[in-house]
Structure 1
Amino acid sequence: MPKITPFLWFDTQAEQAANYYVSLFPDSRITQITRYGSGGPGAPGDVMTVGFELNGQAYTALNGGPHFTFTEAVSFVVHCADQAEVDRYWDALVADGGRESQCGWLKDKYGLSWQIVPQELLDLYSSPDKAAVGRMFAAMMQMVKLDMPALKAAFDGA
């Protein structure tokens, strides 16, 4: 089976970003660092790529220059066990220059988009009670960081 690895383009922060991400998620590590040689386009010895794993999923970060930036068209979803986990990842990813968006979306300090989602929300979406799901969805649309107790209350009609 072919393996698919997300490839993330950074200007010059690939190693810094990879180290930051592996510090946040369990079962994460740097797996490889390659450096530019004399053929460029980076200066000889500068970091070219960083292989890393987040929770066992492989990624590659490239120092490719300022030509491309991240957009919300691609985001990573973090499935959280509870509100405490939502709060922890949210706070860590918006720290030091990250930006909150809405409905559980944010951009980290490198411009990469994340969705920080409590698993219970996803479970409730599959409920056959469409009115409850609609109330929960309406409440979610008013939120920045997802608040599972408030979402559950909306689902329950409270």
Structure 2
Amino acid sequence: MKLQITSFLTFQENNAEEAMNFYVDLFDSSKVIDIHRYGKEGPGKEGSVMKAEFELNGKQFICSDSFIKHKWTFTPAISNWVECKNEKELETLYSKLSENGFVMMPLDNYGFSRKFTWVADKFGISWQLNLQ
């Protein structure tokens, strides 16, 4: 059996499901696979995401709502790299991912790419969008 490595996103504002649905709606060939929720017995807020599995264009992710408030959050040191098919796709993703987020590198030609941007979305997840 091949070793499976999957990105795991830990949300601390009870917004894992909102983020997951945002990403699934944003990327083609994406879907929610499974959601397990906390019940009345806890330890997380009832109905929040204990563990959810989803795919973005065939790449598997897992997310959860942490019932423990950690001293850390998401960092741009780990990001999702997206090779865009065309300029329209890049600009659409840029617009939606940067809305209420933070642009770390504006859309531009940085020499290594014809058009590139690096953004953190409204949930704090970092995305590098590239067009060769």
Q: How does the TM-score come out when normalised to structure 2?
A: 0.82
After superposition, give the CA deviation of every residue in 1:65-98 in whole Å (9 maximum; x if it has no partner).
4413100110001101221111011001012x11
Higher relative contact order (CA 8 A, sep 6+): 2
The question of 1:79 aligning with 2:83 is answered yes
RMSD of equivalent CA atoms: 1.5
Alignment of 1:75-154 (within 5 A): 75-95=79-99, 97-102=100-105, 104-118=117-131, 120=132
Could you tell me the percent identity over the aligned residues?
40
Unpaired segments ≥5 residues, structure 1: 121-158
Q: Larger % of helix: which?
A: 1
Unpaired segments ≥5 residues, structure 2: 106-115
SS of alignment partner, residue 40 of structure 1: coil
Q: CA deviation at 1:38?
A: 5.0
The question of 1:9 aligning with 2:10 is answered yes
Partner Cα separation in structure 2 for residue 9 and residue 98 of structure 1:
18
Q: Larger % of strand: which?
A: 2
Tell me the matched-pair count: 118
Letter in 2 for 1:100: V
List structure 1 runs of 4+ shifted beyond 2 angstroms. Answer: 37-41, 43-47
Partner Cα separation in structure 1 for residue 127 and residue 46 of structure 2:
33
After superposition, give the CA deviation of every residue in 1:35-83 in whole Å (9 maximum; x if it has no partner).
1145532034432222110001110111014413100110001101221
**Residue equivalent to 1:21:** 23
Q: How does the TM-score come out when normalised to structure 1?
A: 0.70
